[in-house]
């Protein structure tokens, strides 16, 4: 006996009739005008900071356990500060730590550093992001 395969398109259209069944427009995905609107209405509301540049001698020699403990401290402080600040990732070099955040302002990042006992030698707002794809556009 052959297996019955449900028609996924019909299932979605029955569950979500407001979505309709027409093809999804591609214009919002490729339009420079839509990109600018999105940038203005979404991304300008949240400041992206490449946050704390911390000068920590011999940081590159820290063990996995030391880095994990520092990360756990950071996450604990962030939990207390609430969802408006988000630590995205950090870059570890031999003597510096570069932390990247989504944050509403510089003060939240400074408060995170203060509560965590981390130095915050410099905080800079990211103005643009570029990569290899920038060369093509």
Domain extent listing, the chain: 46-125
CB-count exposure of residue 85 (10 Å: 0-12, 13-18, 19+) = buried
On the question of pLDDT at 24 being above 90, the answer is no
- For 32-36, 89-93, 98-102, which range has the lowest pLDDT when averaged over its residues? 32-36
Mean pLDDT of 78-106: 91
Q: Are 49 and 123 in contact (CB under 8 A)?
A: yes
- pLDDT at residue 91 in the model: 92
Of 10-14, 36-40, 131-135, which has the strongest mean pLDDT? 131-135
Whether domain 46-125 has CATH 3.50.50.60? no
Mean pLDDT, all residues of the chain: 83
Radius of gyration of the chain (CA): 22
Alpha-carbon torsion 28, 33, 35, 37, what sign? negative
């Amino acid at each position: 006996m052959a297996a019955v395969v449900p028609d996924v398109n019909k299932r979605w259209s029955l569950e979500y009739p407001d979505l309709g069944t027409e093809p999804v427009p591609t214009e919002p995905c490729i339009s420079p005008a839509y990109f600018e609107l999105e940038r203005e209405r979404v991304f300008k509301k949240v400041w992206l900071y490449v946050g704390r540049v911390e000068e920590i001698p011999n940081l590159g020699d820290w063990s996995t356990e030391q880095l994990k403990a520092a990360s756990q401290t950071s996450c604990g402080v962030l939990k207390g500060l609430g969802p408006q600040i988000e630590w995205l990732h950090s870059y570890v070099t031999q003597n510096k730590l570069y932390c990247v955040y989504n944050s509403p302002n510089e003060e939240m990042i400074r408060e995170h550093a203060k509560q965590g006992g981390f130095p915050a030698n410099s905080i800079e707002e990211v103005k643009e992001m570029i990569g290899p794809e920038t060369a093509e556009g």
